[in-house]
Chain A
C-alpha cells in the first residue's frame, strides 16, 4: 500500500465580485480539480466565495522574514513618497 500523502494546496478565495482573491488556508488533494472541489466544501460552506484559486504549495516562493529589515530598507527613508510630507497652504482646496 502506498504511504504517499496527497499534495498540499494553498487556497485563495474571492469573497465577492470586485474584491481580490485572499489566502484562506490550505488542504490536501490528489489534483487541481479535486483541490477546487475540496476548497469549496472546506472554505465556502456559507457562501464565503464566488471564485476559488488553488496553487500547489510547493510552487509558492516566499521572502525570508529574517531578512525583512534589510529587504524593506529601501522604502524606509523615503517619506517624500507620502502626501503628508508636503505642506499645502490652508487656502488651497481640493488637493
Chain B
C-alpha cells in the first residue's frame, strides 16, 4: 500500500489536504498542536478581555432595552471564551495554565481591546465594525482543520451575527438622530477604523506563521485578503449611515473591483501588541483582580462539593 511509505507527518498532511478533520486523539505534529493551542487560547483570551470595554457601558446604557442587549452580548462573549478554552483543553492545555499565561502577560489577546470606550457610540462601533471584522476572521475558522475548534467556531459565528446587527442598529439610530448624535457616531468611527484594520494582523509579508497555518488549513485566508474583504464590505455600510471613513487614500479601484486604502500605522500596532496600548495595563489589571477576587469562591465550591461527597459516602456505608 502506498500509505505505508509515507511518514506519519506526510500521512497527516494527506488527511489535511483531503479535508479530513483532525480530532483530539489523532496523531498530530507537535508544532500543529502548539500553533493551535496558541491561536485558540489567544482567541479565548480576546473574548474574555473583550468583555471589559463593553462592561464599561452596561450601567450607562441609554435605555433598558439597550442595557439588556448589551448584557446579553457580554454574556455571549464569556460563553465564546469558554467554548474556546474547552477546545484548547482537548489539545492538552490546562485551563489554569492558559489563564496564568494571560495574567502574566505571556499570552496575547486581540490588540483592539486595549483601546478605550469613550462614548455610547463606541458600543455601536464595536458591534458593527469590530464584530464585523471578527466575523470575517471567524467564518473561515468554522472549516478549520481541527474539529473541536471548528465546532466551537460554528457556535460563536451563529451568535456573533446578533452582535454585529445590534451594533449597526445603534449606529443607525445615532446617525438618524440629532447632529450631535451623528457627530458622536462619526467620532467613534474615526477612533475605531484603524485599530479595527489592525485586527487582521500584520501584513502578509510580515506574518511568518501564515504560510504554515494555511498549509495545515488552520487559516483559510491571509491577513491581507481578509483586510481587503473587510474594507470592501464596510465602506458601503458607512456610506449608508452617512459617515466618512477616516482614510484620504480610500478610493474605488475599478480594475481590482475593490477599494484601495491607506496603510495602517504599523508602529502603533506593534506597540499595542507589546502591551503599550492606551488601556493595556488597565485591562490586564481588571482581569487579574477578577480572578483573584474569585479565588475564595472557587475554593469554597470545591470544599463544599467534597463535603457533600463524603456525606453521601457515609450515608451509603
Partners in one complex: yes
Residues of B within 8 A of A4 (CB): 302
Q: Which residue of A lies closest to B162 (CB)?
A: A46
Q: Which of B25, B95, B304, B308 contacts A64 (CB 8 A)?
A: B25
What is the bound-complex CA distance between A18 and B295, given in angstroms? 41
Determine whether the beta carbon of A65 is less than 8 Å from that of B305. no
What is the bound-complex CA distance between A66 and B27, given in angstroms? 8
CB distance from B302 to the nearest CB of A (A): 5
Residues of B within 8 A of A64 (CB): 25
Which candidate, B29-37, B76-84, B204-212, is the interface stretch facing chain A? B76-84
Q: Which residue of A lies closest to B87 (CB)?
A: A25
B254 located at the interface, meaning its Cβ lies under 8 Å from any Cβ of chain A in the complex: no
Determine whether the beta carbon of A42 is less than 8 Å from that of B79. yes
- The interface residues of chain B, by DSSP majority, are classed as helix
Q: Which residue of B lies closest to A4 (CB)?
A: B302
Q: Residue-by-residue, is A30-49 near B (CB-CB < 8 Å gives 1, otherwise 0)?
A: 11001000000110011000
B96 located at the interface, meaning its Cβ lies under 8 Å from any Cβ of chain A in the complex: yes
Determine whether the beta carbon of A6 is less than 8 Å from that of B83. no
What is the bound-complex CA distance between A84 and B203, given in angstroms? 54
Residues of B within 8 A of A25 (CB): 83, 86-87, 148, 151-152
Instruction: Give 3 nearest A-B pairs by CB, closest first.
Output: A30-B301, A31-B305, A30-B305
Task: List the interface of chain B (C-beta within 8 A of A).
Answer: 23, 25-27, 72, 75-76, 79, 82-83, 86-87, 89-90, 94-96, 148, 151-152, 159, 295, 298-299, 301-302, 304-305, 308-309
16 of the cross-chain contacts (CB-CB < 8 Å) are: A2-B299, A2-B302, A6-B301, A6-B302, A25-B152, A30-B298, A31-B305, A34-B301, A34-B305, A41-B75, A41-B79, A42-B82, A45-B75, A45-B76, A45-B79, A45-B159
Other A-B pairs, 7, CB within 8 Å; known A6-B301, A30-B305: A6-B298, A26-B90, A27-B86, A28-B95, A31-B309, A34-B301, A62-B25
Task: List the interface of chain A (C-beta within 8 A of B).
Answer: 1-6, 8, 25-28, 30-31, 34, 41-42, 45-46, 62, 64-66
